[in-house]
Amino acid sequence: MATQYQNLSDNNPENVPHAGAFRFAIIVSEWNPTITEKLKESAYSTLLKYGAKKDNIKVVYVPGSFELIYAARRIIESVKPNAVIALGCVIKGDTPHFDYVCSGITQGFAQLNAEGDIPCIFGLLTTDNQQQAIDRSGGKYGNKGDEYAITAIKMAHLANTFK
């Protein structure tokens, strides 16, 4: 979690497995693109940094964050990646829409992970305002895209140990 005491982009590279043997899918919401593009760029470059091959990283765009669930399921079935990273950003507004969207996406990804064999990384920023999203997508708290990519690598490695 990003706080004033911990920068999300700080990690020990020695604790991250080599990603060269894995295939990844990154699904990016087109909603709040100034945020989601920065998350995608960070996740993509972090995968490369740890050895993933460009040809083994599939990037797909969906209209909004709720559509991440559907896309994740279809990508798992067709592309067969070792891990999926879903990136979105929902910023709280004046209506309960924020609560419904965030709750639905959370439940959808919990179900994908509970029932599936492919780890789905929940890369949804849920913030109270635009500044909090900026702070977590390359701002003062680093970029959560790094964290999501490292989580995907670690989970792909973990899943591979059970085969």
User: Which residues are the active-site residues?
Assistant: 97
Cα R_g (the chain), whole angstroms:
15
3-state SS assignment for residue 44: helix
Closest CA to 145 of 75, 79, 46: 46
Q: What are the DSSP calls for 104-160, one per residue?
A: HHHHHHHHHHHH-SS-EEEEEEEESSHHHHHHTEEETTEEHHHHHHHHHHHHHHHHH
Alpha carbon separation from 38 to 20, 43, 112, 134, 135 (Å, rounded): 23, 9, 25, 9, 11
Judged by DSSP in three states, 61 sits in strand
Q: Which one-letter amino acid corresponds to residue 111?
A: Q
